[in-house]
Amino acid sequence: MEKLRQLLNNANLYLKKADHLTYITYPQVKDVKLLYLIISNLFKTVECSMNAVLYYDRLYKRLPAIPGTFNYELELFKAKCVNRYNIDRRFALLISDLKEITELKQNGPMAFSRGDKFVLCNKSYATKVLDLQKVKNYLAETKEFVAKVNKVVRY
């Protein structure tokens, strides 16, 4: 149970950081590179939340205790946990989107700011653009997801 509590606490901490960066720090600093930092914290939030649900199911022997890659765990979450706990499928898409954005920044050849937008490029130079409104939408969805996970896991 201690690991479950730690996962939920980490998720809530990352969510608070992302919220603070979005609504307090970004309007004062207006540095577009903060948008990626917010997305990074949101990804850590949803990753910890997803892992908390998976750990909760493993704790009660509903899932095998086989550790795997992130993609394996995401597929396991979609296949088993989404239906069992009545979690909306859009949250699985949210996790995938946030993972894609963080991978683009880490593995992509180029990332730059253009005006009030942060542009990420993949290896074929297709772009993904982040702006404040999109980040706020991700933040709102992440808050809903964390609230749902906190209700499901109730430790």
pLDDT in tens, 88-134: 999 999 999 999 999 999 999 999 999 999 999 999 999 999 999 99
Give SS3 for 87: coil
Class assignment of domain 2-95+132-153? mainly alpha
Region 14-30 average pLDDT? 97
Among 42, 17, 31, smallest CA distance to 101 is for 42
Q: Which residues of 59-90 are buried (b: 16+ CB within 10 A; e: fewer)?
A: eeeebeeeeeeeeebbebbbeebeeeeebeee
For the chain, give the mean pLDDT. 94
pLDDT of residue 155: 60
Confidence check: pLDDT of 30 > 80? yes
pLDDT of residue 117: 95
The structure tokens listed for 113 are 């700011």
